[in-house]
Structure 1
């Protein structure tokens, strides 16, 4: 799964949201932040809902989740921390005979 293509599609969809004049993703200390410049009709709630809808659309059919946190409002833009999260794989056997146990991982991948 290529997260860069997911991000590109997400930014493209989010740029077309009603109430959004411009959107930019910047990574600061390895964490992606969205800088959203609203138009005259853009409210914080509407933009936040739109981000969640766009995230759901680009994640459809993939094993991803997303997290969006409002950070701050500057004079002409909103800042959100937005991440796409990939599922963590189990790294050890817990002894509970799980169907996805790492002991059986070599059978599925070879």
Structure 2
């Protein structure tokens, strides 16, 4: 699954929020980081709630999950390690009679 369009929609949803002046993401050594610049007086909790809300909007109707970890805050700039991922599930039977075998699913 290509996650580039998911990231674009996610960033656009974040930018619709009143207290976020700009947001962008970039990968550093393969790890996606989310940068959010907020207006003065915005609490860390408000930004966390907005990230969760926008992640849920983007993930709706898709087999997609998100994980967000706060990294640092620096003069109104919040940095998060944020990633979207598709859950890993077995796609074939390996013949070892596993408890989560694909053959046993309905």
TM-score by length of 1: 0.82
- CA RMSD in angstroms, aligned pairs only: 2.0
SS class of match (1:18): coil
Q: Say if 1:18 and 1:42, in contact at 8 Å, map to a contact too.
A: no
Matches within 5 A, 1:1-110: 1-90=1-90, 92-96=94-98, 98=100, 100-101=102-103
Cα distance per residue 1:71-91 (max 9 Å; x no partner):
011123010000001111326
Query: How many pairs were matched up?
Result: 102
Q: Could you tell me how far 1:99 is from its partner in structure 2?
A: 5.6
Superposition misfits of 4+ residues, deviation over 3 angstroms: 91-94, 96-99
Summarize the Cα distance change of 1:67–1:98 in structure 2 as closer, same or farther, 3 Å threshold.
Answer: closer
Cα distance per residue 1:4-63 (max 9 Å; x no partner):
111110010011123211111011111110111111242110001100000000000111
Please, which runs of 5 or more residues in structure 1 have no aligned partner?
102-110
CA distance in 1, matches of 2:18, 2:96: 48
Please, which runs of 5 or more residues in structure 2 have no aligned partner?
none
* Structure that is richer in helix per residue: 1
SS class of match (2:34): strand
TM-score by length of 2: 0.85
SS class of match (1:57): helix
SS class of match (1:51): helix
Q: Say if 1:13 and 1:54, in contact at 8 Å, map to a contact too.
A: yes
